[in-house]
Chains A and B, each alone.
Chain A
Amino acid sequence: KQEVTQIPAALSVPEGENLVLNCSFTDSAIYNLQWFRQDPGKGLTSLLLIQSSQREQTSGRLNASLDKSSGRSTLYIAASQPGDSATYLCAVSPPTGGYQKVTFGTGTKLQVIP
């Protein structure tokens, strides 16, 4: 059974800092991995999707990397801003075929202090 862990559960940083969020998964047989952002009381917004054959994806100040063999992904946020404050979740999808589930981590709650 796939398990996804995100450490730390919460993180507080001053504005302008670069930071890294971690995501670990126990089964390396994944199809793809996605990072989401969730604002309080809202749904999840897709940030970056990495296919299992890829090593990283970039969008603006965000960079996500994937090391499938070690079961790890990181989300790097450059020059953090107060507007980045939210909960960040990662999710992994199973290999194609069969009827397995997407598995979500419990998230890292980020607070960027002005």
Chain B
Amino acid sequence: EAGVAQSPRYKIIEKRQSVAFWCNPISGHATLYWYQQILGQGPKLLIQFQNNGVVDDSQLPKDRFSAERLKGVDSTLKIQPAKLEDSAVYLCASSLAGWADLYGYTFGSGTRLTVV
């Protein structure tokens, strides 16, 4: 089966610019997650979707970050405007279960964002 697809792989932007990341989960996976991973740290959940509804966005900086999951499939994560501290790897993951179950939890390759 195809894995979780993410694009772009790398992005360099100046602070105050905007950027968008795209994720296509594994077909049939109900739950989609966006994580932020700062160098040397574990992944931090930004937002969790179940189908096209938001389950948890408590750690999403809503003044600058937004995310949507159209038709319960693809998802985009946007940052506007970017700050230097947003430099990180942004990981998308999906799972078959309708809750935070690690069974079948699959990650994409991530997008490395550098804000200069």
Which residues of chain A have a CB within 8 Å of any CB of chain B?
Answer: 4, 31-34, 36, 41-46, 49, 89, 91-94, 96-102, 104-107
Give which listed residue, A32, A42, A96, contacts B102 with CB less than 8 A. A32
Q: Nearest residue in B to A50 (C-beta to C-beta)?
A: B102
Chain B residues with Cβ below 8 Å from A102 are 33, 45, 100, 102, 105
Question: B residues near A, CB below 8 A?
Answer: 4, 6, 33, 40-45, 48, 55-56, 89, 91, 93, 99-103, 105-110, 112
Q: Which of B100, B101, B107 contacts A43 (CB 8 A)?
A: B107
The answer for the CA separation of A33 and B102 in the assembled complex, in Å, is 7
Knowing A32-B103, A34-B105 touch, does A101 contact B42 (C-beta < 8 A)? no
- Is A106 in contact with B40, judged by CB distance below 8 angstroms? yes
Residues of A within 8 A of B33 (CB): 102
Inter-subunit contact B109/A94 (CB<8 Å): no
Sampled A-B contacts (25; CB under 8 Å): A4-B42, A32-B101, A32-B103, A41-B89, A41-B110, A42-B110, A43-B4, A43-B108, A43-B109, A43-B110, A46-B106, A89-B43, A91-B102, A93-B101, A94-B100, A96-B101, A99-B100, A101-B48, A101-B56, A102-B100, A104-B42, A104-B43, A104-B44, A105-B42, A106-B41
Q: Is the CB of B105 within 8 A of A42?
A: no
Interface of A is mostly: loop
Closest 3 CB pairs of A and B: A104-B42, A43-B107, A34-B102
- Beyond contacts A89-B43, A97-B99: 6 other A-B pairs, Cβ-Cβ < 8 A, are A41-B110, A44-B107, A101-B48, A101-B56, A101-B100, A102-B100
Q: For the complex, what is the distance from the CA of A107 to the CA of B56, rounded to whole Å?
A: 24
CB distance from A9 to the nearest CB of B (A): 8
Cβ contact of A93, chosen from B41, B48, B93, B102, cutoff 8 A: B102
- Residue of B at shortest CB range from A94? B100
